[in-house]
């Protein structure tokens, strides 16, 4: 690369000077502005000057001129990323890159959906992908729309006005776990609610689904608060006897394996004394002794998400995407 | 809130019309532009109109006018996030929010550091935080500098020209693990190298540190490739006997616990047949049987990182931050 050694900030004016063209021509040449044509010879001259100076166009300036941004914003709790979804996020980034968009993750946490939507709107992304449906209300969607953001995709069990909703029902994860436990003859079922901020958006619908199933049977469900720490798992195991529970659905496989180990360390036999079911079918689950029963959540592929969002950005509409349902992976722990 | 029900895009012209002021006055009032004063009465009128219409200022436009962005960009491999660093990332976001900045994570992966730097530069963030030092070279730093991004903080063992480097040495993690194993009488040590994209930036210096220590003793180290899957852990355990290894340093506690379970399922006794050491001292490690020995990596607090970056943004310099060194947490597996 022919970049100069200077540390000075390089602007489009420097590129214009070196190429011997106007600053507007530099802008037209670098931004492929449809309305303004420059000759291929001029474009080549500008590109050579930009390369020589190491000039990088400013995406924000480009988005203001072109009337749109090339950022796709995905708000997500950092705690919810982990190994389970990292390949999925990588795949999503690759899909967007192929189309000239950049995916950025917003890991902020907000007091309410309106504050969240205002914060996302300020960045003026081309599109927003909402994985935690509780963070997006009709009022939040209206804020995004008024900011000119038309492409909003949400993975949720209930449609929000003005949002393209892909049906992914966390309630059915809790329902599937409890249906399985009841079918195995369990009657008193604990439901782990993680104390970590940002996970309640997933844990609450899972609890709701568990309660709905239990209400139709003789089984009872009890919500149990647990932090993702060894101390919290051990504290739950310490008091386990007085709870009279014969099963536990432990939010996901991370919490389930922590609790499984803590219960075993106290001398409980799994599944004889207590059946344990996780969710997300994480990598370690099949290797645990006993191997962990889990509820696997089928989810849209990165390409399905990206194609939907890009279609919304470019045409204002997108074809319907099928619903996603959980699948029970039965192993030895239940 | 008095927001209108319309779905139409609201611009600053609408705010100006409702408040009975010029569009420039709206901009001055909403952006607290230092150079241009508006009266408190006018500002109140503009704020009321913006609130009524549900107008959200455009951060990119604001950054162009003010000459700076309010985004802080942190490139990070999604695979590297997980539960270990999620609280840390949450804390970092909170620190920046208190100062009017928004942290966004860039999870892209790039063929080389120059491509990476150009992609970050396009977003024109106020600052960049680089956790995986291998992704930032002097040439990449120069690209950021020429794009006007002066605040770049890197956690690395070697300083990069033009970058504020906080000394955090992954090589010393591998060195600490192997020093411990050698002191416990182990001679033939496997070093797990994760196959997942994005983790080599951490795994390679850890291997280098392990090799440096081993070269000063009678011990040998052997790199072993492993994916974070049950199959890969089981395949390693299947062939374990022929490797003649009496210890393994397994990159981090996730890989270590996966391999520990796979080895135990094949009948190996830990630590009698093979000592297992992980890293990062993750939550589950103390609950495993045997409890897992781990190398804990002391790291700067979110406040230390945020204060350093904000100081660089605002003053161009920042006070030195101390070095961070690993600590061995000895448990039963070694």
Same domain, A145 and A221: no
Q: How far apart are CA B94 and CA B91, in angstroms?
A: 5
Same domain, A187 and A292: yes
Instruction: Output the pLDDT for position A58.
Output: 65
Residue B329 inside a domain? The answer is no
**Angstroms from A212 CA to nearest CA on chain B:** 30
Q: Among residues B27, B42, B66, which one ends one of the domains?
A: B66
| CB nearest to B287's CB, from A83, A97, A230 | A230
Q: Could you list the residue range(s) of the whole structural domain that residue B120 is in?
A: 71-168+300-324
What are the DSSP calls for A222-242, one per residue? Answer: EEEEE-SSHHHHHHHHHT-GG
In this complex, is the C-beta atom of B262 within 8 Å of any C-beta atom belonging to chain A?
Answer: yes
Same domain, B278 and B263: yes
Phi, psi of A274 (to 5 degrees): -150, 130
Neighbours of A111 (CB within 10 A): 7
CATH, residue A94: 3.40.50.2300
The per-residue pLDDT for range A82-107, each reduced to its tens digit, is 666 777 888 898 899 888 888 998 88
Same domain, A162 and A310: yes
Is B229's CB within 8 Å of A287's CB? no
Same domain, B162 and B175: no
**pLDDT greater than 70 at residue A327:** yes
Same domain, B282 and B184: yes
Q: How far apart are CA B299 and CA B314, in angstroms?
A: 24
Instruction: Output the pLDDT for position A183.
Output: 97
User: What is the predicted ipTM?
Assistant: 0.73
Same domain, A42 and A184: no
Instruction: Identify whether the C-beta of residue B105 lies closer than 8 Å to the C-beta of residue A93.
Output: no
For chain A, percent of residues with pLDDT exceeding 90: 50
**pLDDT greater than 60 at residue A294:** yes
Residue A330 inside a domain? The answer is no
Please identify which residue in the block is written with the tokens 């392990």. Answer: B210
| Sequence-separated contacts (24+) of B88-91 with Cβ below 8 Å | B88/B299, B88/B302, B89/A78, B89/A107, B90/A77, B90/A78, B90/A79, B90/A107, B90/A109, B90/A197, B90/A198, B91/B301, B91/B302, B91/B303
| CB nearest to A86's CB, from B78, B89, B104 | B78
Residue B312 inside a domain? The answer is yes
In this complex, is the C-beta atom of A298 within 8 Å of any C-beta atom belonging to chain B?
Answer: no
Instruction: Output the pLDDT for position B5.
Output: 45
In this complex, is the C-beta atom of A212 within 8 Å of any C-beta atom belonging to chain B?
Answer: no
Residue A84 inside a domain? The answer is yes
CATH, residue B57: 1.10.260.40
Same domain, B292 and B176: yes
Q: Among residues B66, B82, B103, which one ends one of the domains?
A: B66
Instruction: Identify whether the C-beta of residue B258 lies closer than 8 Å to the C-beta of residue A287.
Output: yes
The per-residue pLDDT for range B220-255, each reduced to its tens digit, is 999 999 999 999 999 999 999 999 999 999 999 999
Same domain, A309 and A288: no
Instruction: Output the pLDDT for position A323.
Output: 85
Q: Which residues of chain A does B57 touch, with a Cβ-Cβ cutoff of 8 Å?
A: 122
Same domain, B147 and B218: no
Q: Running DSSP on this structure, what letter comes out for residue B275?
A: E
The per-residue pLDDT for range B5-27, each reduced to its tens digit, is 445 788 888 888 999 988 888 87
Residue B248, both tokens: 């393994």
Taking Cα atoms as reference points, which of A147, A104, A32 lies closest to residue B128? Answer: A104
Same domain, B153 and B57: no
Mean of pLDDT over chain A: 87
Q: How far apart are CA A51 and CA A67, in angstroms?
A: 25
Residue A1 inside a domain? The answer is no
Residue B311 inside a domain? The answer is yes
Q: Which residues of chain A does B105 touch, with a Cβ-Cβ cutoff of 8 Å?
A: 104-107
| CB nearest to B146's CB, from A10, A87, A254 | A10
Mean pLDDT of A154-165: 88
Lowest model confidence (mean pLDDT) among A32-41, A193-202, A265-274, B44-53: A32-41
Q: Which residues of chain B does A229 touch, with a Cβ-Cβ cutoff of 8 Å?
A: 283
pLDDT band at B3 (very low <50, low <70, confident <90, very high): very low
Instruction: Output the pLDDT for position A276.
Output: 98
Q: Among residues A66, A83, A112, which one ends one of the domains?
A: A66
Burial environment of residue A225 by CB neighbours within 10 A (0 to 12, 13 to 18, 19 or more) = exposed
Residues comprising chain B, all counted: 334
Residue A223 inside a domain? The answer is yes
Question: What is the count of structural domains for chain A?
Answer: 3
**Angstroms from A35 CA to nearest CA on chain B:** 22
Same domain, A162 and A306: yes
Instruction: Output the pLDDT for position A6.
Output: 47
**Angstroms from B123 CA to nearest CA on chain A:** 5
**pLDDT greater than 50 at residue B94:** yes
Interface of B with A in 125-144 (CB under 8 A): 139, 142-143
Residue A6 inside a domain? The answer is no
Among B62, B68, B90, pick the best mutation site for testing chain A contact (most A Cβ within 10 A): B90
């Amino acid at each position: 690369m022919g970049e100069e050694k200077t540390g000075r900030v390089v602007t489009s004016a420097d590129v214009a000077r070196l190429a011997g063209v106007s600053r507007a021509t530099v802008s037209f040449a670098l931004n492929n502005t449809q309305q303004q044509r420059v000759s291929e010879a001029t474009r080549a001259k500008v590109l050579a000057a930009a390369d020589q100076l190491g000039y990088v166009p400013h995406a924000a300036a480009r988005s203001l001129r072109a009337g749109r941004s090339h950022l796709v914003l995905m708000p997500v709790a950092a705690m919810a990323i982990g190994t389970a979804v990292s390949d999925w996020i990588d795949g999503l980034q690759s899909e967007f890159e192929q189309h000239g968009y950049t995916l950025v993750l917003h890991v902020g946490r907000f007091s309410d959906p309106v504050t969240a939507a205002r914060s996302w709107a300020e960045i003026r992304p081309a599109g927003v992908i909402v994985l935690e449906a509780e963070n997006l209300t009709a009022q939040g969607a209206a804020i995004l729309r008024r900011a000119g953001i038309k492409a909003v995709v949400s993975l949720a069990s209930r449609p929000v006005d003005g949002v393209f909703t892909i049906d992914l029902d966390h309630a059915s994860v809790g329902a599937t776990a409890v249906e399985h436990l009841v079918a195995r003859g369990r009657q008193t079922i604990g439901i782990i609610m993680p104390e970590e901020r940002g996970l309640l958006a997933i844990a609450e619908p899972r609890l709701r689904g568990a309660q709905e199933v239990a209400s139709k049977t003789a089984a009872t469900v009890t919500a149990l608060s647990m932090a993702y720490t060894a101390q919290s798992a051990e504290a739950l195991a310490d008091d386990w006897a007085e709870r009279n529970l014969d099963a536990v659905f432990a939010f996901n496989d991370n919490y389930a394996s922590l609790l499984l180990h803590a219960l075993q360390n106290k001398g409980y036999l799994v599944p004889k004394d207590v059946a344990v079911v996780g969710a997300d079918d994480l990598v370690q689950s099949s290797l645990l002794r006993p191997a962990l029963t889990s509820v696997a959540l089928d989810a849209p592929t990165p390409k399905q998400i990206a194609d939907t969002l890009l279609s919304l950005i470019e045409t204002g509409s997108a074809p319907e995407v099928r619903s996603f349902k959980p699948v029970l992976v039965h192993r030895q722990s239940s």
